[in-house]
Amino acid sequence: MTVEPDLQAAALGYVARGFALTWMAHGSKAPTHPGWNTHAKAVVTPDQVLEIWNGTARNIGIVHGLGDVKTCSLDVDQVECTRGVFAEFGFDLDLLRQGTPTVEGKPGNFRLLFRQPAGMDLPLVKLEWPGRSAAEGKITLFELRAGANQDVLPPSKHPPASAMNG
């Protein structure tokens, strides 16, 4: 059984929504081809999808700032800490999550996908805390992922937790 038809169908659906896509090895979360985050290499048409997802299983990435529909994501790595930070500013993370397209990769973490406000070109922004020890370094609580950055989309195969950092 192959997953390629599902990946191709999903990629076609994403470009139909106006999203810019990139690709990576199946089971990976990072593109490695040069220029993946440029307009010249972004996949934005059905013909480009058919050329890339052509029988080889490849993960799908959305390149947030390059599509006709610009997107961004709130990538939550430390749920309890993020919940507390949001509460300090009067936001309810759980309420925000309701009804918002959500991608779950690493168990317990999630990513909320949004359309950027018209006329905006949001950047990548991270909130990091010092780790519990010097060896741990900084830990990322959450990221607002936008611009020429990407996130893996379903039905891609996410790397196992043991293969990922952090």
The domain tally of the chain equals: 2
Residue pLDDT, tens place only, 105-143: 777 899 999 999 989 899 999 999 998 888 989 999 999
**14 and 34 assigned to the same domain:** yes
Q: Give residue 1's pLDDT.
A: 41
pTM of the model: 0.88
Q: Give residue 165's pLDDT.
A: 43
Q: Is residue 109 within 8 Å of 86, Cβ to Cβ?
A: no
Count of residues making up the chain: 166
Q: Give residue 108's pLDDT.
A: 82
**45 and 24 assigned to the same domain:** yes
**97 and 42 assigned to the same domain:** no
88 has pLDDT over 50: yes
**48 and 94 assigned to the same domain:** no
Q: Give residue 132's pLDDT.
A: 87
Domain that holds residue 140: 71-149
Rounded Cα gap, residues 144 and 141, in angstroms: 11
Relative to beta strand 71-76, strand 110-115 is antiparallel
Number of neighbouring beta carbons within 10 Å of residue 67: 21
In a domain, residue 22? The reply is: yes
**144 and 77 assigned to the same domain:** yes
Residue pLDDT, tens place only, 30-81: 999 999 999 999 999 999 999 999 988 999 999 999 999 999 999 999 999 9
Per-range mean pLDDT, top range of 3-7, 102-106, 123-127: 123-127
Q: Which tokens is 43 given?
A: 């996949």
